[in-house]
Each structure stands twice: as structure tokens, then as C-alpha cells.
Amino acid sequence: MSRRRVVVAGLGDSGLLTAIQLARHNDVVGLSAKPGLVSGQELGVRLSRPDEWTRNYWIPFERFRALDGVRTLHATLTGVNLGARTVFAQNPDGSALTEPYDTLIISTGVSNGFWRQPSLQSSTDVAEDLRAAHQRLISARSVIVIGGGAAAVSSAANLAMTWPNLRVDLYFPGERALTQHAPRVWDRIRRRLNELHVGLHPGHRALIPEGFACDRITDQPVQWISGQSPASAGAVVWATGRVRPNTDWLPPELRDEHGFVRVTPQLQVPGHRNIFAVGDVAATDPLRASARNRADHLVAHNVRAAASGRPMRTYRPAAHRWGSVLGAQPDGLEVFAPSGHAFRFPAWSVERVLQPWIVSRGIYRGIRDTPRKDSPA
């Protein structure tokens, strides 16, 4: 079978892995608004220890060995012609870009707070964002974190661990946080937050001002639609989980009522045998779990199967979120299974085994210490 031209629209966590899987048997073009992988994972570590976060989660594309055969384009997606099988984008200089495809993979992710935005950025822009958020928190004597998901909980915990004298309060709308995880996960994380003297405030639902996209750290008092008195701090981190799919460039017929990409259980867009979606942008299930369950393997298999007429595999999402909540810490990394049971990687194994062997070589198939010599970077 001849090699097919595959365009991967979006090279975040899911898109990058999918491009790596497809590069073995296809001519792959990846389009990204960032000049490398700028992961949406581990917000708490990103805010509190940005240098440590950068080592594992902000990686230029030229460092990925498995992308050597992939043409990566730094551009903003603007549209697609489904009949002509062509994607349209805009280069950083404003000029137009067109890319034909045999197969299109939609993996443009979602916008969520200041740390996950679809804007076109240079390496300098990414570095400045990291520095500015960190400096903003260094200068604060107290911090409010709003939200009940993993990003909010991780932020509160890591800020308290990094700066023990910083007053940190976590406000969340339900009786407990981490409602998308198995219940025992919150029981364990709550004990850790109590040890760190993080103030826990259940039953608080923030009033989000009209037009406010939660895309910056603020210092104004927070109002509550749940009836409590306003709360104030030197810095307010908004991690409310109000995600917005990055799908404005797609025609309406590909999107559901919330803007996410409609998919079959095979992660194929209904009515379009040559279009697939993966990651947070794909309307797979309420948790959009294909972003966290290595669905890149399944998509790569199904792309080949669709082209050859073979049966495709079905994606089966997990019932609960799983993985790390707080990120790597000086005493190791705690990871939760979908059941909520925890297992720990000791600190020595994170740096000597997990990152260099399991992540770098196993998952990403090799990451160079520096970009290859012929790279334009």
C-alpha cells in the first residue's frame, strides 16, 4: 500500500503522539501554533517550579527523534475544505498556507485558563508566559485557587509545598474536589492538602464576570454565586475547568452542540472515513478520555485499517480519570489507577528510569538533549 499524506492538526500532548505513531507508514505533516510541545499537564509544577516543568513538558519539536520524518509547520489553523481535502492556515508572517491531505487527524485540544490557549506563540513567548506567572505568584503573600479538578488541586498543593509561608486557599463547588476521579483519590489528596495547611472551602461556586475567560491570574475579590462573602488574596488562580474546544476553524457539521468534534467509537468523524479526532477535542465520552489513555495507538491503527478496508478497533474510555494529580515531588511520584488505588515511583526512579526510559525512549521514542544540527532552530 502506498504511503498516504496525513495532516495532524494540532501537536499538543495527543497530536504529537499520534504523529509519531503515524510517521512510520505515512507522509505526515503536523501543524501547531506552538514551536514545540507545550504540555497542558502538571499546572502546579509549572507555576511553582517552572524550570523543572520545562525539562519534561516544554520540548521543541526538533528534539523528538521520531519526528525527524514529520514536516512540522508553525501556523494558525483557519479552515478546511472537506471536498478538496485541504487544510488552510496562516503563517506567523500573515501569509496563507494550504496543505492537502489524504487523512486528517483533528487534535487541536481545548482552551482552559491561562496555561492552555490556542494563540500563535514563539519560543520567547512561551518562556515569557512561564516566567510571568511564576513571578506573579512569588510576589503574592496569599493565593486563592478556584476549581475542583486536578489542575486546581495540583496548583494549590504545589504552591504550598514550594512556599510554606504562602497562604493558599482552595475553593471548589462540590462537597469534594476531584469528582472525575475515583472517590478514594480525593480522600488521599485531601489528607495531603491538610498536611500542607491548604485551606479547603467546599460549596463555593465562583461568579465569573461576563466575558472573562479565566485566562490570567487576577487580584480582585472573588464573588460567589453560592452565597458566601467575597474572598480576597494577593493572587487568584482560575482553574475552573471551563474548557472551550479549539474548533472555530472547522465547519459546524463536524461539531456537536458544545463545539467538540463528533466521533464514532473508532474515533472517526461520522460520514468522513478519512477524518479522525483524538484528545480533549474529541467528543468520545463525558471525560473526553482519549486525551489520557494512549488513544494515539488506536487512531494510527484505524487510519491504516480505513485505508485498506480492514476492521477498525473500538475505543473504550475509562470510567474515571487516572494518572498523577500532584506531579513529581522531592519524595517521588504518586500515580492513581482508574480504581483510585495509588502506586508510587520513588524519587530516584523518576529521574533515572521513568523520564529517560519509560517516557523519553518508550513513549516518545527518543528525545535529544539539544535540537539536531540541521534543525532551523
Residues making up the chain, counted from first to last: 377
Q: Which CATH number is correct for 5-121+243-319, 3.50.50.60, 3.40.50.300, 3.40.50.720, 3.30.420.40? A: 3.50.50.60
- Burial class for 313, CB neighbours closer than 10 Å (0-12, 13-18, 19+): middle
Residue 37 backbone dihedrals phi, psi, to 5 degrees: -70, 115
Q: What is the mean pLDDT of residues 185-193?
A: 97
The better pLDDT of the pair 234, 371 is held by 234
Q: What is the pLDDT of residues 88-123, one digit of tens each?
A: 999 999 999 999 999 999 999 999 888 999 999 999
* Confidence band, pLDDT 50/70/90 cuts, at residue 329: very high
- The per-residue pLDDT for 313 is 96
Residue 161 CA to residue 46 CA, distance in Å, equals 13
Q: Strand, coil or helix: what is 360?
A: helix
- Model pLDDT, residue 374: 62
Condensed to tens digits (0 to 9), the pLDDT of residues 149-158 reads 999 999 999 9
The mean of the pLDDT values for the chain is 94
Question: Which pLDDT does position 1 carry in this prediction?
Answer: 54
Q: pLDDT, tens digit, for every residue of 281-322?
A: 999 988 888 887 889 999 999 999 999 999 999 999 888 888
Three-class SS state of 142? strand
In this predicted structure, the answer to whether residue 46 has a pLDDT above a threshold of 90 is: yes
pTM score: 0.94
Q: What is the pLDDT of residues 75-86, one digit of tens each?
A: 999 999 999 999
CATH code 3.40.50.720 for 133-238: no
133-238 has the same fold as 5-121+243-319: yes
Report pLDDT for 292. 78
Do 356 and 48 contact (CB within 8 A), yes or no?
no
Closest C-alpha among 129, 144, 164 to residue 47? 129
- Residue 371 is predicted with a pLDDT of 79
pLDDT bucket at 377, cuts 50 / 70 / 90: very low
Model confidence over 230-282: pLDDT tens digits? 999 999 999 997 889 999 999 999 999 999 999 999 999 999 999 999 999 99
Query: Mapping DSSP to helix (H, G, I), strand (E, B) and coil, where does residue 296 land?
Result: helix
User: What residue spans define the domains of the chain?
Assistant: 5-121+243-319, 133-238
Averaged pLDDT, 26-30: 97
- 299 three-state secondary structure: helix
The residue written with cell numbers 501554533 in the block is: 33
Pairing of β 235-238 and β 142-146? parallel
